[in-house]
Amino acid sequence: MSIAEQHDQISVKPLTGAGGAAVWGFDINKMDNSDYEQINDLMLQYGAIALHGQAHVTVEDLRAFGMHYGELDIHGFSPSATGFDDVMEIGQLRSESWHSDVSWKKLTPKYSMLLARKVPSLGGATLYANQHRAYEDLSDTMKAFVDPLFAIHDGRQFDHEQIEHPVTHPVVITHPETGKKALYVNRNFTQSIVGLDKDESKAILEYLYKHTTRAFYQFRIDYEVGTIAIWDNRSVLHSPCPDYDTSEERRMQRVTVLCEASPIQ
């Protein structure tokens, strides 16, 4: 397919009112600047997209696609593809785990890109929750309370020594491209709110954890072999959906594109 033909065959289908879109017609190996810009525009509009039809993509192709948008993160604690420290290998996942990728690092991810290599016959989707809407639905009083707050994040889930290396991010961040505010806490990595005592912090965080993942902020991406799920960690939380038969294989490869700067209020 030529680039001109590709432009004529793009199809975008919104997934739900909460966000997400299924996209057909791109070939990430045949992209020009307008294609990259169009995908970025779709990300800003929908928060996450399913880019179907990429089964031919190699590890090198996936890396090149990600690097167009910025430097790739090296996770450091999860399995990686042979010869590529910045490509994660993700296998069977059996827990629901709402989070924003590696929020325990000072320089956090912009986009995560997850390529489906093998998928179960049923299930195995990724769930997402729109954090712009979650923030917008807070009362004005609650917004005034959480807007100036900062929270401590660490990576103890991967390495207990990360307790000694926490980072601090705003509880409410401003998206650098859209200017929209979003909640930026997650049960996996957010440990406490700066300036509150232990019980106060726990109570506020528990409320926010439940609020940010309410059903009407959620949408899901279902995979076929060759689907690349791309999501904006500044706009959505995500979680694996462990609703599949683990006798079947689920195998993914992920690259994560870093932001140019740490999250801002």
* Residue 70, burial from CB neighbour count under 10 angstroms (0-12, 13-18, 19+): middle
pLDDT tens for 45-104 read 999 999 999 999 999 999 999 999 999 999 999 999 999 999 999 988 777 899 999 999
Task: Give the CATH number of domain 3-124+217-258.
Answer: 3.60.130.10
**Regions in the chain scoring below 70 on pLDDT:** 1-8
Q: How far is CA 260 from CA 35, 40, 107, 183, in A?
A: 21, 15, 8, 19
Provide DSSP, 79-110: -EETTEEEEEEE----S---B-TTTTSSS-EE
Give the pLDDT confidence score for residue 31 in this predicted structure.
96
Q: Are strands 126-130 and 48-51 parallel, antiparallel or unpaired?
A: unpaired
Give the pLDDT confidence score for residue 95 in this predicted structure.
75
Q: Amino acid identity of 146?
A: V
Give the pLDDT confidence score for residue 6 in this predicted structure.
53
Q: Are 238 and 53 in contact (CB under 8 A)?
A: no
| Structure tokens, 145 | 């309370």
Return residue ranges of the chain for CATH 3.60.130.10. Answer: 3-124+217-258
Mean confidence (pLDDT) of the chain = 95
Give the pLDDT confidence score for residue 69 in this predicted structure.
98
Give the pLDDT confidence score for residue 7 in this predicted structure.
55
* Residue 75, burial from CB neighbour count under 10 angstroms (0-12, 13-18, 19+): buried
Q: Amino acid identity of 109?
A: P
At 13, is the secondary structure helix, strand, or coil? strand
Give the pLDDT confidence score for residue 2 in this predicted structure.
43
